[in-house]
Amino acid sequence: KIAKVREQKIKDEEKRKGESDRLTLDDARTQLDFIVRDKQADAQMLNAKANIKRDKTAQDGRK
C-alpha cells in the first residue's frame, strides 16, 4: 500500500513538472512575441526617419 502511494506521488510530481515546463515554454513564446514586435516597431521607425531624411535631401536638391 505504501509503495502505491509513493508511486502516485512520483507520477503526480512528474505531471506537475511537465505542466511547469509547458508554462515556461508559453512564457518564452510570449516574450519572443514582445521582442519581435519591439524590433519591428524599431525598424519601422528607422525606415520612417530614413524616408523623411531622403525626402528632405531631395527637396534641398531641387531648391
- List, for residues 47-63, the tens digit of each pLDDT value: 999 999 999 988 888 76
What is the extent of the structural domain holding 12? Answer: 1-63
* Ordered DSSP codes for 2-59: HHHHHHHHHHHHHHHHHHHHHHHHHHHHHHHHHHHHHHHHHHHHHHHHHHHHHHHHHH
- How many domains is the chain partitioned into structurally? 1
pTM over 0.75: no
What's the mean pLDDT when you consider all of the chain?
88
For the residues 28-49, what does the mean pLDDT come to? 94
Can you give the pLDDT at residue 16?
Answer: 80
